[in-house]
Amino acid sequence: MNLLDAHCHLANLADVMNVNLLLDEAEANGITRFASSALRKCEVEWYLSHPDQRIAFSAGIHPNFDECDLELADIVRLCEQKQIWAIGEIGLDNGNPEIALQRKQFSQQLDLASDFRLPVVLHIVGHHSEAYDTLKKYPLSYLIHGYAGSREGYNQLKRLNAHFTISSRIMKEDKIDLLKAVLSDKRFLFETDITQYYIKETEPNPLLRLNQLIDTCSSSSGISVERLTAIQHQNAKALFKDFVL
Which residue ranges make up the site for Zn ion (CB under 5 A)? 193
- CA-based nearest residue to 82, from 56, 62, 120: 56
CA–chain centroid gap for 196, Å, is 16
Nearest-approach distance from CB 223 to Zn ion, in angstroms: 25
Residue in the shown chain whose Cβ atom is closest to Zn ion: 193
Nearest-approach distance from CB 20 to Zn ion, in angstroms: 21
Q: Which is nearer to Zn ion, 93 or 193 (CB)?
A: 193
Q: Which is nearer to Zn ion, 89 or 183 (CB)?
A: 89
Q: Please give the radius of gyration of the chain, using alpha carbons only, rounded to the nearest integer.
A: 17
> d(Cα 92, Cα 96) in Å, to the nearest integer?
8
Burial class (CB in 10 A: 0-12, 13-18, 19+), 196: middle
> d(Cα 115, Cα 29) in Å, to the nearest integer?
38
> d(Cα 156, Cα 150) in Å, to the nearest integer?
10
Nearest-approach distance from CB 24 to Zn ion, in angstroms: 23
Q: Which is nearer to Zn ion, 12 or 229 (CB)?
A: 12
Q: Which is nearer to Zn ion, 5 or 193 (CB)?
A: 193
Nearest-approach distance from CB 125 to Zn ion, in angstroms: 11
Q: Which is nearer to Zn ion, 3 or 90 (CB)?
A: 90
Report yes or no: 136 and 161 within 8 Å, Cβ to Cβ: no
Nearest-approach distance from CB 7 to Zn ion, in angstroms: 6
Q: Please enumerate in sequence order all residues whose Cβ is within 8 A of that of 178, keeping only pairs 6 or more positions apart, or say none.
A: 147, 148, 151, 154, 170
